[in-house]
Amino acid sequence: MSIELIGKTKELKTTTDAEDVSTKQLDATQMYLGEIGFSPLLTAEEEVMFSREALKGNEKSRERMIVSNLRLVVKIARRYNNRGLALLDLIEEGNIGLIRAVEKFDPERGFRFSTYATWWIRQTIERALMNQTRTIRLPIHIVKELNLYLRTARRLSQELDHEPTAEEIAEATGEPIASVQKMLKLNERINSVDTPIGGDDENKALLDIIADEQGSGPENQLQTNDMKLNIIKWLQELNPKQREVLARRFGLLGHEPATLEDVGVEIGLTRERVRQIQVEALKRLKEIMRHQGLDIESLFTYEG
């Protein structure tokens, strides 16, 4: 099984453009799913071995890690279906995240790859959906052109390790530099009117990967349990009061999720003091998780 499957999504989408879209997209999706179904999964030992070699620059090991986890991308992409992007588009975006995860994953830190890669896959898919939502009122041909440049820019940023210039995007897409520059300026204007999300500690929710009750099947459960076990391990590095506050606030260690006020009543502290302890504890937890190679700002959302 070749890594050419990564590019298969784009090829299959192209073949549907001139025909009945809904039927042909379904056929193309089924064809892709059928092909990746033959990709062999890795054992835990193989995962460590191939990821170590991939970190050293071994291209065959990198390819093996990617191809063996294509089904993980599909499973995650399905959760975002019917939100504005076709499943093949979601898979293509998720594959970009998978490649990034393989490049960044360090097996010595004690994570299973699926746990680490899930965040990268979700991030790229959610960013694509956000771009789609922002541009929903633009003419469809503009949206398609802008999405092409944005997708190319994300891919190039991973390959080049810097934000690509308009010239680099133009070269990669074969489009005129002036067209790329025009679209990127349009994207900047769209971004400038976006409403910021969150901003207050009490308007967020802790680790949606844990709180997600929608996932079903053994693979979802295994990934959720994997992350829960790590969270529990990290909690042990906090002081007792910080650990108790987070456990009671977010329903960990056998507790039910509770508001700041309810936690205060339960442990005999004011709501404000509980909030202060929560802020201190989350700051410490962020430091711990960053050492594990995770971007805590995207994994964590905490609510109040």
Segment 198-210 shows an average pLDDT of 38
For 234-283, what is each residue's pLDDT tens digit? Answer: 888 889 999 899 888 877 776 777 788 888 888 889 988 998 998 898 88
Closest by CA position to 302, among listed 256, 253, 259: 259
**φ, ψ for residue 203 (rounded to 5)?**
-115, 20
Nearest in space to 156 (alpha carbons), one of 96, 116, 104: 96
What is the DSSP-derived secondary structure letter of residue 108?
G
- Cα(21)–Cα(250) distance, integer angstroms: 44
Q: What is the mean pLDDT of the chain?
A: 74
Long-range contact set of residues 41-49: C-beta below 8 Å, sequence gap at least 24: 41/68, 41/71, 42/68, 44/112, 47/107, 47/112, 47/113, 48/107
**Residue 264: exposed, middle, or buried by beta-carbon count in 10 A (0-12, 13-18, 19+)?**
buried
What integer pLDDT is reported at residue 205 of this predicted model? 40
Residues 6+ apart with CB under 8 A from 104: 116, 120, 293
**Structure tokens belonging to residue 46:** 């193989």
Q: What confidence category does residue 98 fall into, taking pLDDT thresholds of 50, 70 and 90?
A: very high
Reported as a pLDDT band with limits 50, 70 and 90, residue 5 is low
**Averaged pLDDT for residues 211-240:** 58
> What is the mean pLDDT of the segment spanning 199-216?
38
> Domains in the chain, start-ordered, CATH in brackets?
1-121 (1.20.120.1810), 135-195 (1.10.10.10), 208-299 (1.10.10.10)
At residue 202, does pLDDT exceed 60? Answer: no
Question: What percent of the chain lies above the pLDDT cut of 90?
Answer: 16
- The residue that leads in pLDDT, 31 or 88, is 88
